[in-house]
Structure 1
């Protein structure tokens, strides 16, 4: 069932994309949508203030610590939650980003669900050893 949702979404994107069908258009629109996701988060910090970024150097434990404890030392540097307005804007921009990612998959004849399943399989197999 879930693969049908991905496939239906991919078909819907294919039918919706008319003006920007060229791979060059899709690549640049995808890059632009990524920048707009970043911008919407930055505006939640600088204009609204609903979230704050308190960044500093990540302090890792000594070599004797196990990899399982690593999450206790690594931080997101975020404080707060997006307000309803900022969340709506961020979700809209992420949606646009997914649209252009799907369009990129369509142009390259790549099934988005297959990519998702391969990535999930790799993550679930390697677990914490899939450090990124």
Structure 2
């Protein structure tokens, strides 16, 4: 069932993409959409203030011999304080949706199946688990 949703989405993107059919248009629109996501997040900090970024050096335990990989998750921080307000959340979701559109367009022009890519990545994460270290 989930693959049908992905396939339907991929087909809908293919049917609706009219102006930016060239791979050059698609990759530049994808890059532009990445920038718009980053800009929307930055504006959540600088214009709205619903979130705050407090970035500092990530601290690792000093005794690395006793460090278990599962402890690493508890040591590393996101550097985000607060929660997105409804307005900022909606804007960021819209920008991520646009990004999905152009990512899917890229898959279409290269004859790649979005669901197969997602499934392959999911299986890789399940196989490697926390040892994928991303």
- What does residue range 1-132 of structure 1 map to in structure 2 within 5 Å? 1-61=1-61, 62-63=63-64, 64-132=66-134
Q: In structure 2, what is the Cα distance between the partners aligned to 1:65 and 1:84?
A: 39
- Please identify, of 15-24 and 58-67, the stretch whose mean Cα deviation from structure 2 is larger: 58-67
Q: State how many pairs are aligned.
A: 132
**Normalising by the residue count of structure 2, what TM-score does the alignment of the two structures yield?**
0.97
| Structure 1 residue runs of 4 or more that deviate by more than 6 Å after TM superposition | none
Task: Tell me the CA shift for residue 47 of structure 1.
Answer: 0.0
Structure 1 residue runs of 5 or longer lacking an equivalent are none
Q: In structure 2, what is the Cα distance between the partners aligned to 1:113 and 1:86?
A: 28
- Listed one character per residue, the Cα deviations across residues 57-109 of structure 1 (whole Å, up to 9, x for unaligned) are 00112312100111110000001111000000000000000000000000000
Q: In structure 1, what is the Cα distance between the partners aligned to 2:84 and 2:67?
A: 34
**Normalising by the residue count of structure 1, what TM-score does the alignment of the two structures yield?**
0.99
